Every structure is written in C-alpha cells, then in structure tokens.
Amino acid sequence: MRKISTLLVAIMAAVSFSMSAGSGIFLRGGMNSWKADAAWEFQATSTTGVYTIENVSFGGAFKVADATWSTACNWGGSSLQVGNPCNLVSGGANLNLADVYDFSKITFTLKSDGTATLLMVGTKHVAGAITKVYVIGNITSWDFNDTTGVLNQTAANSGIFENTLTLPSSVSTDPAGLSYWRIYEQLGQVGCWGPAEKDSVNTTSGTLVKAETDDAISTTAGTYKFSFNINTGDFTLTPQSGVATIANDNVKVVASTNEINIYGATKNIAVYNIAGVLVSRNQASVSCAPGVYIVKANGKTQKVLVR
C-alpha cells in the first residue's frame, strides 16, 4: 500500500495537481489544435484524483495530457464509448469521436493504483446537412480550425465540393515541393477522409477513405481546383494558371501553359525550378516545362505553378 501511495503522490506532483493553480490536465485534440488551452483544462473536485470538464462540445481525435506531454500524464486508448467509463492507456493512441457531441460532464479519474479512466456524458450534436468540407494540412499549418481550405458544395445534396486552393510546400527548401493534406467534414478534426495507404508521391486524383488516420495525400505545391465527392471519396486536383504580384513592388508574375511572364521588372530577374536550379536570368518571358518555379525580381520572391 505504501508503494502505491508513493506512486500516486509522484504522478500528481509530476503533472502539478493543485486546487489553486488548476489541475494541469487538459483535453488536447483537433478541437483546440492539440494545445494546452485553459478553456479545456480539467478542474479539481472535492474527491482526490477526480477532475472534470463541463458543458463542452467537440468531436474528432484527442488525448488527456498535461502541458508538456510528459510520460506521467499522456493518456489515450481505443475503447471509447460515450456514457461508459473508458480505461485509459498511458502513452496510448489517440481517442476518437466520429461525431460531434454535446457533453454535460467529462470526468477524468486517476486511481490509487496509477491507472486512469475517462467518463464522457453527453448526446450526439444535432447538425444540419454538410454544405462545406475542409482541406487541412500544410495549407492551414495543420490548424484543424482554420477555414483557409474550405470546399463548398456545388449544389444542394450533390455531394460534390469544390474550390480553388493554393497548396504550399511542406518545407520551403523541400526539393520535392510536396504539400500534405487531408479532408475533414467539420473543423476540429471531425470526419476525416484520408488515403487508404501511405502516400509519398505527387497525387492529384484518387479515392479517399473515411477513417481517422495519421497519413496524408501528398501533392506538388501549387494552385489547384479541388473537386471532392463525399458519396464515393473520389477527388481530383486540376492545376490552375498562377497569377501573382510580388509584394511591395509593381511587378506581376503570370504563369500559364509552358510559360512564365514577368511584367514591370526591367532588371534583376531570375527564375529557378523547385530544386533551386537556375532556369533563366533577366528574361521577362520564359518558356518552361510544367511544374513549380521560383521567380525573383527586384529583390522579391514568388512561387508559381506552370501547367
């Protein structure tokens, strides 16, 4: 018994359990972009080892953890059922809610033997028909609440969602120039559509599957018209001509089929491919193969897509 008590004290100290300072334990997931957000902090109760959050709504992937993801407080699992206690696993996989729920109370219990449970009491949120879905990935810096990648339904009940989006490279110096993304039915990491298997090549069409996944589609950075069929999971990305103005200069860069034209710059023009190889210098009209290019003019830089 003494060993168990010592273990409990050590765990509590590690995650800063304090009535006055807050529990130091959070729900962290897609609903708050996996941050230790004060609005999602468990509150201590009069019962030792029992902490609660009340009146919250969310869905998607999440875990119970402290602010630093310490080994003492990083809880996941796989058997989550709303209304029934879930045995948590230290360092376990993400918990997942396939739908959004309105929770009256969520109770995290740390037992004297060092195990933990989670009880979530609530009802499924009543939502209207899906009229928008969201491309989440490098385009949103993996912020699951960013609307930058919204796709709008083309017509009522069509199940087809479209928009023109610009995908940034995952890393500015990435030789492959790939951008990574998934589609979600709602913000907050709810209703994930991703690849059936790991994807590491430029992909502009295929079929997504609805399942929580850590894998993503990879597509060469550039501007595309997205089309997604939620009834079948089919998607296509159609490259679009790039038109951009280099910041703080009266310089316009227009990328079209097999060509880049630079207007307004009379000197210091350089065009590079995505691998950083110089394609042309001091030419206002450049013939080139389809792909992503870097245009430098008057000391400014712009990335464009050539079809």
> How far is residue 225's CA from residue 165's CA, in Å, rounded to a whole number?
6
Q: Please give the DSSP secondary-structure letter assigned to residue 72.
A: T
- Spatial CB neighbours of 148, under 8 Å, sequence gap ≥ 6: 139, 140, 165
The yes/no answer on whether domain 242-306 falls in CATH 2.60.40 is yes
Residues of the chain with pLDDT under 50: 1-10, 13-21, 173
Global confidence as pTM = 0.64
**SS3 label, residue 2:** helix
| φ, ψ at 141 (rounded to 5°) | 55, 35
pLDDT at 1: 46
Reported as a single tens digit per residue, the pLDDT across 246-264 is 655 567 778 877 888 887 7
**Per-domain residue ranges of the chain:** 2-124, 132-239, 242-306
Partners of 95 in the β-ladder: 62
> How far is residue 218's CA from residue 182's CA, in Å, rounded to a whole number?
9
CA atoms within 13 A on the CB side of 244: 23
pLDDT at 294: 86
- Spatial CB neighbours of 193, under 8 Å, sequence gap ≥ 6: 133, 182, 183, 184, 185, 208, 209, 210, 228, 230, 233
pLDDT at 22: 73
> How far is residue 307's CA from residue 288's CA, in Å, rounded to a whole number?
9
Burial class for 118, CB neighbours closer than 10 Å (0-12, 13-18, 19+): buried
**SS3 label, residue 180:** strand
> How far is residue 77's CA from residue 286's CA, in Å, rounded to a whole number?
55
SS3 of the chain: helix, strand, coil, percent, to 5: 5, 50, 45
The yes/no answer on whether domain 132-239 falls in CATH 3.40.50.720 is no
Torsion angle (degrees, nearest 10) of CA 19, 96, 163, 217: 120
Q: Identical fold at 132-239 and 242-306?
A: yes
Question: In 3D, which of 33, 98, 41 has the Cα closest to residue 64?
Answer: 41
| φ, ψ at 40 (rounded to 5°) | -115, 25
- Spatial CB neighbours of 8, under 8 Å, sequence gap ≥ 6: 49, 110, 112, 114
Four-way CATH pick for 2-124: 1.10.287, 2.60.120, 2.60.40, 3.20.20: 2.60.40
pLDDT at 46: 93
pLDDT at 197: 86
pLDDT at 15: 46
What is the sign of the dihedral through the CA atoms of 144, 99, 165 and 216? positive
Q: Terminal CA-to-CA distance of the chain, rounded, Å?
A: 71
- Spatial CB neighbours of 236, under 8 Å, sequence gap ≥ 6: 204, 205, 226, 227
Q: Please give the DSSP secondary-structure letter assigned to residue 41.
A: B
